[in-house]
Structure 1
Amino acid sequence: MAPEKLRKPPQAPPTFTATPKSLIDDTNRLIQSSRKVQDSLVTNITPESATFANVLVPLAQDENVMALESHILGFYQSVSSDQTLRDASTEAEKLMDDFSIESVMREDVYKLVDAVSKKNESLDPESRKLLEKEHKDYVRNGLGLPAGPKRDRFKEIKKRLSQISIEFQKNLNEENGGIWFTREELDGVPEDVLSGLKKGEGENEGKLRLSFKYPDLFPTLKFAKNAETRKQVMIANENKCNQNVPLFKEAIVLRDEAARLLGYPSHAAFRVEDKMAKTPETVNSFLGDLRSRLAAGGQKEREALKTLKQADLESHGEKFDGHYYLWDHRFYDRVMLEKHYQLDQQLIAEYFPLQTTIEGMLKIFEELFGLVFVEITGEDRNQLSPTGKGSDVTWHEDVQIFSVWDDEGEGSGFVGYLYLDLFPREGKYGHAANFNIQPGFIDTSGNRHFPATALVCNFSKPTLKKPSLLKHDEVVTLFHELGHGIHDLVSKTIYSRFHGTNTVRDFVEAPSQMLENWCWAPSQLKSLSKHYSAISPEYLKEWQEHNNGKSQPPEQIPDDVIENLIRTKHVNDALFNLRQLHFGIFDMTVHQPESHDAIEKLPVSATYNSLRKEISQLEGPEVLGQGDEWGHGEATFGHLIGGYDAGYYGYLSSQVYSADMFYTIFRSDPMNPKEGRRYRHMVLEKGGSQDEMKTLTDFLGREPKTDAFYKELGLA
């Protein structure tokens, strides 16, 4: 039991009691209140009397207060089980986006901000950054254009792009397709996956329905022995959301038009200007250099896998056609790990039951960063809930909630709330992500408002006989997303705009990517592990039934299994990174056309597929004569519509920073609490409140270097 004082946070958690009507009413109330603040500024202040204190501070405070509700209003569409609530949340987000566009295009407010900018007052660094960013936002949102047709067209484009983004993500969240297969067609897929699939009736009697949700999709591509099954699943998954195809095309055409209206040669030039890379040329040169360095390794890995495929087919008396397909890759990658590295992924998963793994991860963050996590359950939830009902402080019965505190060494203060929403359900966001529910900031009285953050994932659900078991790559994913959550929790900024993960896109992944290294450290893997048979007598009985007569496995993962796992860290790494390069280069290609005419004529799906074949070196149905339009992967690529446009390269470029930080500071002693706290205060705490290069340089004691990144990839 947590110490008594840790059980009563000084700030109640947010409540999730919205109805479809209240969502829209609350949205309209927030918009009216915010518009009132802006109207009041232009009524009472002139450019001559404008100062940071009387213009920027009220705007920032309004933004802070609005964020407390607006993040939640838009969050329901990703997590609610109620379709009408999701629809209302989508509508609320559209209203807020439209208002946001209206706000950043108010010339009367811009004139006041511009006047403050010219006065060059003495400000603290975070306030200075706020002023610069606010001023630049107005210019980048069309106020640098003369009033009239051009500016009106720009505003029209911004509104349409907002609608496209919301509709695109909604289509992905609501996607509920699947394929019916016989058990024979799914031969090789683990029984715990098959037992969770929907059973067919009528014409589908005796079949199982495989959805495109991760807990179904990935095990099938990894384990199904039937190549035709894997091919069907792979192609259907690429075509699961084809209503997004025209939306994607419209978005890239409109982005290009908007960038050219502002005088930029492309959307990429417009977007990258604000990031660490600064120019598309820097990005293209980084991606091109990495591609040429990885090419030979990718070819070598593919040839080895192809040889493995040939031997496998011939051992079953099947003919080899000389090709290595997209739907072969996850399967033979696994076969190689099992055959050459004795890596049994199912066995490893038995040591990582979801709940004990989470406990282990939280313990690591406690030791490293000086935190304490207290799960809030039962009566404590009722006492903490502003309504007195514990069910009101989460959006679904599966959700866990923790209050997070500093340990004694860090002052024992309250830090914020962490939510875990871990299992798939209909209408829910389909990947793994961290959502900020309420940001942290300093309020008008000088008091701190504490953040609330949520991990939204899709791991398989536990059953009475077996807990949810994580494959090692899922352990890495969970640690990565939890890393974003910790960034969100421990950040301390004056303004909500810079809170937590609100950094430039080509830095935001670095803190979480760095923490992934803990999932490859022997001592951490050991401490995270616990064989599921050791959790309860019921689980032990189940294990014994399936392993007749074998003695119970050791409670923690054996050293030789860890050793084998670590040996595989860079197996087929070149092919993995070439896949990431495909995404990054496709992103830059569609956002950097030679002319507007070129983007209008670009065959997007064919470009996506042909680039994938060229870069990732894996063959698709095009080699079977199905042309380059066989799939529409861009229509499932939420990142490029949801904020990573001309920014996907950030996943790769931020690895340069994450590798440098890990190798320089943590590699020799990952659990060094002194360095952990230094990292917490110098990197995570800063959020986006200062230039990210300054954050990095201050922490490393020098400018970042690429050496560790290329060394890690075996390309030094």
Structure 2
Amino acid sequence: MTPPNSRKPPQAPPTFTATTQSIVDDAKRLIERSRSLQDQIVSTVQPDTATFANTLLLQAQDENDMALETHILGFYQAVSTNPALRNASSEAEKLLNDFSIESAMREDLFRLVEATLKKNEPLDPESRRLLEKEHKDYIRNGLGLPAGPLRDRFKEIKKRLSDLGIQFQKNLNEENGGLWFTPEELDGVPEDVLSGLRKGEGENEGDLWLTFKYPDLFPALKYAKNSNTRKRIVIANENKCNQNVPLFKEAVVLRDEAARLLGYPSHAAFKLEDKMVKTPKAVTSFLGDLRSRLTDGGLKEIEVLKNLKKADVESRGESFDDLYFIWDHRFYDRMMLEKQYSLDHQLIAEYFPLQTTIRGMLQIFEELFGLVFIEIVEEQRDKVVESGKGSDMVWHQDVQVFSVWDDEEEGGGFVGYLYLDLFPREGKYGHAANFNLQPGFIGADGNRRYPATALVCNFSKPTLKKPSLLKHDEVVTLFHELGHGIHDLVSRTTYSRFHGTNTVRDFVEAPSQMLENWCWTPSQLKSLSQHYSTLSPEYLKAWAEQADENAARPTKQIPDELVTNLIRTKHVNGALFNLRQLHFGIFDMTVHEPTNHEAIETMAISETYNTLRREISQLEGPEKLGEGNEWGHGEATFGHLMGGYDVGYYGYLSSLVYSTDMFYSVFKVDPMDRREGRRYRHTVLEKGGSQEEMKTLIEFLGRPPKTDPFYQELGLA
């Protein structure tokens, strides 16, 4: 068999050559093409002649073809350095969303789909699922309402919610705030971070500009010795996007109104109807049970951390206030790991240079799932891309591209394209996420269309003296997002609607959460590691310049002692970590399950957010200092609840139940079991959302999922 790296992929990669004009023009062209198809269907098919083939299949194939372009049209707003291009991308997404709402509320199409459903044709399971979901979606989009003012109002709400979501995320992507600090105020922050901060001029001469981007924000909160510095950062970060405050409030009010128009008691009831848990009662019961189990542990963890804070502030001649604030937590959590567990995150990061860590992760996926990753380096791209111009293949020069293949055991075929966009820049999406660029599906000609997927992250950029180095939590984040990317790549569905991570929200995180366990397995951690000083003579020299003169030269791989110390800390302060997740989940349910519509109209959202944070996490905030409960507006920075995770944030915790069960039951004894890895690939990842997710779980586990491993892992059994 021809080795993959000497074969040309059977499908050219997508290109990124859009202009501000072409993005909008392309969106309009796709809309017009799709609308013409819909008009043609309703003009040639009657309810008595409607079949799956002449009604739904044609629309599904159109949806497949549209997705090849629409995902990329909307992607530019998350990654482009050109503000005009980002604006055009947002405009295109608005046009496409409005058209999607219009299509979903076409009564003439609904009548044909309903007639098709009633005929009960023999269909393959995925087509049957598509038909049933499409029928239900029409009803959930207002076609169960009588034509007239009520339905018109529902459509108006849907369009406004789309606009609010686009503007909210645009504000977050384009947020470029920060604070000026003197070097003294940033005492304790690692030199690697300080050297990368913008230097002040004029009235800010000698000061440093600390942004709210993760590579600046988290090290400052972990290492800045000055508590007032950390307090200023926390408060400013919670107020960095206050223009989103009214957008969020309007969105939750409109969601509630829309749900009640459809006859649901709340937006939560509406959203959960087609999720794995089905009802708000099941979610609140799960979150409430977890909160009751975690609260005592959280209080005990705070007492230990307060003692650490007391010793620290008194050692500096300051008086201890017997309080533990949110701006204290990352600092003393880090100090505790160093003092009590001999854990130096800066030292551990030296063993995880970004590029060698990525290579190690891809090797794990190769061995486990039967894949081969071939990087398409810059000088090779001209031969791969159809235009012959390699730069067309990426949206920014920092982006890496891989062609992905099956290994010989899996048949040696092409799988798809993987893109990595790993460093922060102005206007870029500010968190870590996986974006589908083009889905996989079976085309109208019967041929397979291969996917393209992108990881968009924000890790620290390399410097002349050091490569980009990952803290262990960043290693976990990268592995998690790569897990979504693998899910996207290896999925095998007929329709793009069910491809890859297009599952219900309370399952979608489970596959990636399960893979996080590999980052806590000694053998895998060692295989991922390589001390940066061993990468080149220049890095070795740079390491020697900053090391103690008597320091021993680092080993190539991370020492066993460091690995042991790291793994011991997996659940240190775990109750506080999970209480923070509970705060987000319970806030999400609180704003989406009001007792009546007036309750959400009059709810003080920011006050609710901050009050719940204090009550659930047990960490004090500025309200303890008399600044009231409206000191910050964290909901305005919470992209999840405006980006599809509304009444879905509980899924990060509930899907941990499934992911932990899968790992404990199948992989814990041998995480690199090739046979089980391939079975997992074909039984879980390959299915995407093409069948009920619970069915997928039961097929893999051989039984319904259990909660016992989840509570055992958290020490709450």
Normalised TM-score (structure 2): 0.99
* Structure-2 residue corresponding to 1:437: 437
Distance 1:613 1:97, change over 3 A: same
Matched with 1:627 is 628
2:583 alignment counterpart: 582
Deviation at residue 7 of structure 1 after TM alignment: 3.7
- 2:574 maps to a residue whose letter is D
Alignment of 1:150-169 (within 5 A): 150-169=150-169
Distance 1:216 1:505, change over 3 A: same
- Structure 2: any 5+ residue segments left out of the alignment? none
CA distance in 2, matches of 1:194, 1:117: 63
Read off the aligned partner of 2:544 and give its amino acid letter.
Q
Cα deviation for residue 129 of structure 1 reads: 0.4
CA distance in 2, matches of 1:12, 1:214: 34
Residue 239 of structure 1 contacts residue 631 of structure 1 at CA under 8 Å; is this kept in 2? Answer: yes
Residue of structure 1 in register with 2:282 after alignment: 282
SS of 1:412's partner is coil
Question: Is 2:404 aligned against 1:404?
Answer: yes
Q: Is the 8 A contact 1:622 1:628 kept in 2?
A: yes
Where structure 1 has 5 or more consecutive residues not aligned to the other structure, the ranges are none
Q: Report the residue type matching 1:562 in the other structure.
A: V
Distance (whole Å) between structure 1 residues aligned to residue 165 and residue 327 of structure 2: 29
Partners of 2:632 and 2:457 in 1: CA distance:
26
Q: For 1:545 and 1:610, locate their aligned partners in 2 and report how far apart those are by CA, in whole Å.
A: 49
Report the secondary structure of 2:303's partner residue: helix
Instruction: Choose 630-639 or 377-386, whichever is displaced more.
Output: 377-386
**In structure 2, how many angstroms separate the alpha carbons of the residues matched to 1:504 and 1:672?**
28
Aligned to 2:338: 338
Q: Give 1:414-453 correspondences, 5 Å limit.
A: 414-453=414-453
Deviations 1:31-83 (A, max 9, x none): 00000110000000000000011111001000000000000000000000111
Contact 1:76 1:89 in 2 (8 A): yes
Distance 1:569 1:5 in 2: 38
Q: Counterpart of 2:94? A: 94
* Equivalent position of 2:272 in the other structure: 272
Q: Distance in 2 between matches of 1:536 and 1:230?
A: 37
Counterpart of 1:680? 681
SS of residue matched to 1:405? strand
CA distance in 1, matches of 2:521, 2:552: 28
Following superposition, the deviation at residue 5 of structure 1 comes to: 5.9
Return the offset for 1:608.
Answer: 0.1
1:610 aligns to 2:611 (yes or no):
yes
Q: Whole-Å Cα distance in 1 between the matches of residues 553 and 715 of structure 2?
A: 39
Structure 1 residue 554 corresponds to structure 2 residue 555: yes
Partner residue, 1:219: 219
Matched ranges for 1:59-70 at <5 A: 59-70=59-70
**Partners of 2:310 and 2:465 in 1: CA distance:** 38
Q: Please list, as runs of the form range in 1=range in 2, the aligned pairs for 1:182-261 lying within 5 A after superposition.
A: 182-261=182-261
Match of 2:524 in 1: 524
Using structure 1 for the length normalisation, give the TM-score: 0.99
Deviation by residue 1:154-185 (Cα, 9 ceiling, x = unmatched): 00000000000000000000000000001100
Q: Is the 8 A contact 2:5 2:374 kept in 1?
A: no
Deviation at 1:6, TM superposition (A): 4.6
Shift of 1:402: 0.1
Give me the CA root mean square deviation.
0.7
CA distance, structure 2, for counterparts of residue 199 and residue 305 of structure 1: 34
Separation in 1, partners of 2:123, 2:202: 72
Q: Whole-Å Cα distance in 2 between the matches of residues 678 and 514 of structure 1?
A: 15
Go from structure 1 to structure 2 and tell me whether the alpha carbon gap of 1:396 and 1:44 turns closer, same or farther (over 3 Å shift). same
In 2, distance between residues paired with 1:33 and 1:654?
39
Do the aligned partners of 1:197 and 1:210 also contact (CA within 8 Å) in 2? yes
Correspondence for 2:479: 479
The residue identity in structure 2 corresponding to 1:19 is: T
Aligned partner of 2:351 in structure 1 is: 351
Distance in 1 of aligned mates of 2:526 and 2:412? 29
Find the aligned partners of 1:385 and 1:391 in 2 and give their Cα distance. Answer: 9
The aligned residue for residue 56 of structure 1 is 56
Q: Deviations over 1:468-501 (max 9, x none)?
A: 0000000000000000000000000000000000
Deviations 1:507-529 (A, max 9, x none): 00000000000000000000000
- Following the alignment from structure 1 to structure 2, what is the Cα–Cα distance between the partners of residues 148 and 28? 28
Q: Deviations over 1:650-694 (max 9, x none)?
A: 000000000000000000000000000000000000000000000
Large movers: runs of 4+ above 4 Å: none
The reply on whether 1:669 has 2:637 as its aligned counterpart is no
Is 1:6–1:405's contact at 8 Å kept on the other side of the alignment?
Answer: no
Pair 1:545–1:583, CA change in 2 (3 A):
same
Are the aligned partners of 1:145 and 1:151 in contact in 2 as well (CA < 8 Å)? Answer: yes
Maintained 8 Å contact 2:4/2:405: no
Counterpart position of 2:494: 494
- Separation of aligned partners in 2, 1:660 and 1:669: 15
Contact kept, 8 Å, 1:371 with 1:407, in 2: the verdict is yes
Q: Secondary structure at the match of 2:397?
A: coil
Q: Which amino acid counterpart does residue 421 of structure 1 have in structure 2?
A: D
d(CA) in 1 for partners of 2:617, 2:378: 50
1:322 maps onto 2:322 in alignment: yes
Distance 2:225 2:577 in 1: 22
Paired position in structure 2 for 1:592: 593
Local SS of the residue matching 2:403:
strand
SS of corresponding position for 2:427: coil
Report the equivalent of 1:652: 653
Distance 2:26 2:6 in 1: 32
Q: AA paired with 2:97?
A: D
Does 2:706 correspond to 1:705? yes
CA shift, 1:3, in A, is 3.0
C-alpha deviation, 1:317, in angstroms: 1.0
| Cα distance in structure 1, aligned partners of 2:698 and 2:369 | 20
Q: Distance in 1 between the 2:10 and 2:24 partners?
A: 30
* Amino acid aligned to 1:668: V
1:119-145 per-residue CA deviation (whole Å, 9 max, x = no partner) reads: 111111100100011001100000000
CA distance in 2, matches of 1:4, 1:263: 55
Q: How far apart, CA to CA, are the structure 2 residues paired with 1:423 and 1:610?
A: 35
Whole-angstrom distance in 2 between the partners of 1:163 and 1:305 = 44
Match of 1:571 in 2: 572
Partner-residue secondary structure (3-state), 1:37:
helix
1:605/1:629 contact within 8 Å kept: yes
Q: 1:609–1:628: 8 Å Cα contact kept in structure 2?
A: yes
Superimposed CA distance per residue, residues 98-132 of structure 1 (whole angstroms, 9 cap, x where no aligned partner): 00000000000000000001111111110010001
Counterparts of 1:476 and 1:4, CA distance in 2: 29
Paired letter, 1:291:
R
| Per-residue Cα deviation, 1:291-328 (whole angstroms, up to 9, x for no partner) | 00001100100111011101111111110111100000
Number of residue pairs the alignment of both structures matches: 715
- Residue type matched to 1:667 in 2? K
Q: Distance in 2 between matches of 1:627 and 1:127?
A: 55
Amino acid at match of 2:520: W
- SS for the counterpart of 2:401 is strand
| CA–CA distance in structure 1, aligned partners of residues 190 and 100 of structure 2 | 48
Structure 1 residues 564, 525: CA separation in 2 closer, same or farther (over 3 Å shift)? same
Q: Is the 8 A contact 2:142 2:151 kept in 1?
A: yes
In 2: Cα distance, 1:316 partner to 1:85 partner: 51
SS of corresponding position for 2:334: helix
Q: In structure 1, what residue type is equivalent to 2:142?
A: G
Distance (whole Å) between structure 2 residues aligned to residue 316 and residue 567 of structure 1? 30
**SS of the counterpart of 1:252?**
helix
Secondary structure at the aligned position of 1:646 is classed as coil
Q: Which secondary structure does the structure 1 equivalent of 2:684 belong to?
A: helix
Mapped partners of 2:236, 2:41: distance in 1 = 54
Distance in 2 (CA, whole Å) between partners of 1:518 and 1:129 is: 34
Q: Secondary structure at the match of 1:685?
A: helix
